[in-house]
Amino acid sequence: MHTWDGAAVRSRHLLAWHERSNQDWERMVLDTVAEYQGKKQRAAERRGSIGLVFLNPSLRTLTSMEAAAVRLNMHPTTIIPGQGTWSFEWRDGVVMNADRAEHIREAVGVLSRYFRMLGVRSFASGTDYAADRDETRFRTILDAATVPVISLESAFYHPCQALADAGMLHHRFKGATAGRKFVLAWAYHPKALPMAVPNSALLMATRMGMNVTVARPEGFSLDPGIMERARMYASGHGQSVTETTSLGTAAKDAEVIYAKSWGAPLRYRDPEAEAQLRERHKQWRITEPLMAHTSRGVLMHCLPVRRNVVIDDAVMDGPQAVHLLQAEFRLHAQVAILARALG
């Protein structure tokens, strides 16, 4: 018989790190690094299963989560709705007489009975800002689940990426991240990408005590609530968050350039106007001369990246790029996250 302890399960959900205590976050960063260094023995005898539901494409998250599960002797099952399973209906109260055969509530309820935990990727709608900001879709999943659920990237947050980035920075700077200049650098992209990664990177860097600059063109500001939380984290470390519309100025003396593209909030009201606005900023690209302005800074990108659109080949293939180490830390972070969810 399937039984569940609601409070215990909810304490192991992972939607976003800001919903978790500093103590939990700091332990997870150290666990991630410990896994990388191989100094901490993992509970290799743990067993369990995880259902990984990908409503959107992935290379890193899908494969590193499967690999992390195997490392913990867990069995991963990857589910891609619509490809061998039914397509899901999300709306409550709807008459399901169209092409979507299964409601997400039944799907998650059923999967909760098959797996010890679930991972779900569900990107932003890009059409309903309030629903994306409030994580309405992901909270429907949390509401229907009776086992811990780990976000594999939701509308506004990518906690697996954030922990991997934190672990990599902690490793790179030997634990001394506080006060270092971190630049979240907007870069042009032909599509209006979601804000989950930049939101999570900003919250991660400020929580690590870094001195953060957000460089982005006019009109590409991040959500005010995210900025406010980032400023709160920064001030807790005696740091600040600066915003600038000059990438060159931001890069000066930076120790980390975190390149990322995202769509302007305007996309929610007027996608065509947003596209026109974005097209005016093709020069926002990470180049060798830009990296030369930094304080021998490292170049981070969560990947996938469009070479010579977002970042030039010379930077991607140069000594300052750490994107592959960053991707490697996805695995270490997710081993730590799965171990946490196992309890």
Binding span for ligand CP by CB under 6 A among 104-112, 238-246, 287-295, 299-307: 299-307
> Of the listed pieces 5-13, 36-44, 57-65, 261-269, which binds ligand CP according to CB under 6 A?
57-65
Q: Interface with ligand CP includes 112 (CB under 6 A)? A: no
Judge whether 118 and 51 are in contact, CB under 8 Å.
yes
Q: Where does this chain touch ligand CP (CB under 6 A) — which range of 53-61, 141-149, 184-192, 243-251? A: 53-61
Q: With CB under 6 A, what is the number of residues at the site for ligand CP?
A: 9
59 forms part of the interface with ligand CP (CB under 6 A): yes
Q: For the packed helices 323-342 and 60-71, what is the interaxial angle rounded to 10 degrees?
A: 50
Supply 325's token pair.
């180490």
How many Å apart are CA 1 and CA 19, to the nearest integer? 31
Q: Applying CB under 6 A, does 303 fall inside the site for ligand CP?
A: yes
Beta carbon nearer to ligand CP, 59 or 273:
59
Rank residues 61 and 211 by Cβ distance to ligand CP and give the closer one. 61
60 touching ligand CP, by CB under 6 A = yes
Provide the 8-state DSSP code for 340. Answer: H
What's the closest the beta carbon of residue 148 comes to ligand CP, in angstroms?
20
Taking a C-beta distance cutoff of 8 angstroms, is the pair 198, 213 a contact?
Answer: no
- Using CA atoms, how far residue 163 sits from 1, 65, 122, 315, 329, in Å, is 35, 13, 18, 24, 8
In 3D space, the residue among 78, 215, 43 whose CA is nearest the CA of residue 152 turns out to be: 78
Look up tokens 């000059």; give the residue: 246
| Binding window for ligand CP (CB under 6 A); candidates: 235-243, 281-289, 298-306, 314-322 | 298-306
Token pair listed for 135: 């994580």
CA 54, 2, 19, 226 dihedral sign is positive
Give the contact letters, 124-163, x = binds to ligand CP (CB under 6 A), - = no: -----------------------------x-------x--
Closest residue (Cβ) to ligand CP?
61
Q: How far is the CB of 334 from ligand CP (least distance, A)?
A: 11
260 binds ligand CP per the rule CB under 6 A: no
Q: State which residue, 266 or 310, has the beta carbon closest to ligand CP.
A: 310
Cα separation values, 189 from 58, 63, 173, 309, 323, Å: 18, 25, 30, 7, 18
Q: State the nearest-atom distance from the C-beta of 78 to ligand CP, in Å.
A: 12
Token pair belonging to 198 = 């930049």
d(CA 343, CA 340): 5
* Minimum CB distance to ligand CP smaller for 62 or for 264: 62
Could you write out the DSSP letters of every residue in 165-183?
A: HHHHHHHHTTT--TT-EEE
- Containing H/E element for 207? helix 196-207
Question: How many whole angstroms separate alpha carbon 254 and alpha carbon 36?
Answer: 25
Q: Which is nearer to ligand CP, 32 or 61 (CB)?
A: 61
| Residue 103 interacts with ligand CP (CB under 6 A): yes or no | no
Question: What is the closest distance, in whole angstroms, from the C-beta atom of residue 107 to ligand CP in the complex?
Answer: 21
Q: Which is closer to ligand CP, CB of 28 or CB of 65?
A: 65
Residue 193 vs 277, nearer CB to ligand CP: 193
Positions that interact with ligand CP (CB under 6 A): 58-61, 153, 161, 302-304
